[in-house]
Amino acid sequence: MSGDVMNVCVNVKAKSFHDELQDTLQQLSEIDAQLATSQPVGGLPETAKKQLEQFQVNDVHFCLVQEQCL
């Protein structure tokens, strides 16, 4: 009987790990899609403010996603 309990525990842990991995892969896929549509960063002074604002928005989004993973 203890072998059956151990198998159940191992299966539950494996499923939990698999679910976490699937969530992480989904988040990476979303980030990859964002990167594919993002504009390249340049060093021109006239675009620096806009690029900084966009970075700050992306940084907040990334932090929120990271908190969901914890």
Q: How far apart are CA 20 and CA 12, in angstroms?
A: 12
User: With contact defined as beta carbons under 8 Å apart, do 31 and 23 qualify?
Assistant: no
The structure tokens 């690029």 sit at 51
pLDDT in tens, 16-63: 999 999 999 999 999 999 888 887 666 677 777 888 888 888 888 777
Cβ-defined contacts of 31-40 (< 8 Å, 24+): 31/62, 31/65, 34/58
For the chain, helix, strand, coil in percent to 5 are 85, 0, 15
Instruction: Write down the pLDDT at residue 26.
Output: 95
